[in-house]
Amino acid sequence: MIAFVVDSSFDMPDVKLKYPMYVAPLRIYIDGKEYVDKKDLTIEKFYEMLETAEDFSTSLPNPKETEELIKKLYDEYDHIYALALSSKLSGTYNMFKTICEPYKDKVSVLDLKTASFESYAVYRGIVHYFEKGVEITQKLVDEIKKDTRIFFGVITLDFLEKGGRIGKAKALLGKLLKIKPILVVNDDGEVESVGSARTLSSLSSKIIEKVEEFIKERKIENPYLLAGYGSKKFIKYVDDIINHFGIEGVVAQISAAVGVHTGPEVYGVVVSKY
């Protein structure tokens, strides 16, 4: 029997998983107070607090608690796959690697090269190949990522600028032009702009165009699509995307670990071959 360990940036719809999954929660800091993601702080409460917070950041999962979890699972399962958000966005992957080194005969640490609900789509690809008897390696995960992409729009660039996910020059230009960028997490696991919209009303249609281009480019015949949003105030903006692609019941909310960097005004869609 296998099990998965993920960090709390791993967002997913309300579905039943075939294999046990355990969470190593990141820590969220809001105005100097520490919260354990998805434990001390619900997603909705987080977005409420974010609207008035002056200072906010994230920190890695607790190393000692994470090692205790790995040691426990090591004795209970045949193999454990530790799935980390992009190493270009967080130090979680490197922490997982250090902690799991003594247990590497039964623990594989994998860089998903993404975060949030795209992580769930990459996980689906991992399960797909595992059940075909294919060895799960970083090389395979990288190939899955090439056929999986998140397209998301943010209404304000302030949060991405503060977290260092977008440069100050780009952020300033975006603010001056009132641009709403369409962003992806590219194959290397970095946030990249692939387009923009001038108005909120046109943002969804631009995202739809980018998704259709990706489907055509990657020659995906039966794409898996998953919509996601930040604050519940923005769930209505995914309706156009959901209706266009006929997405049914696969909607995820973006967690605090990611929302700290995108802000509450964010929504988008993941498309995958798997």
* CATH number of the domain enclosing 17: 3.40.50.10170
Residues 256 and 184 in one domain: yes
Residues 132 and 167 in one domain: no
Give me the CATH number covering residue 161.
Answer: 3.30.1180.10
- Give the domain extent around 129: 2-145
For position 154, what pLDDT does the model report?
87
**Vertex 193, ends 196 and 91: CA angle to 5°?**
145
Residues 113 and 14 in one domain: yes
Q: What is the pTM of this model?
A: 0.93
Which residue stretches of the chain have pLDDT < 70? Answer: 160-178
Residues 122 and 167 in one domain: no
Residues 118 and 195 in one domain: no
Residues 178 and 114 in one domain: no
Residues 137 and 154 in one domain: no
Q: Is the Cβ–Cβ distance between 25 and 266 less than 8 Å?
A: no
For position 156, what pLDDT does the model report?
73
For position 237, what pLDDT does the model report?
86
Q: Which of 94, 123, 145 is the last residue of a domain?
A: 145
Integer-rounded Cα Rg, in Å, for the chain is 18
For position 169, what pLDDT does the model report?
37
Torsion of CA 149, 153, 159, 160, to 10 degrees: 40
For residue 10, the 8-state DSSP code is: B
The per-residue pLDDT of the chain, averaged, comes to: 91
For position 160, what pLDDT does the model report?
65
Q: Is the Cβ–Cβ distance between 114 and 189 less than 8 Å?
A: yes
Residues 211 and 253 in one domain: yes
Domain count, the chain: 2
Q: For residue 266, what are the β-bridge partners? A: 154
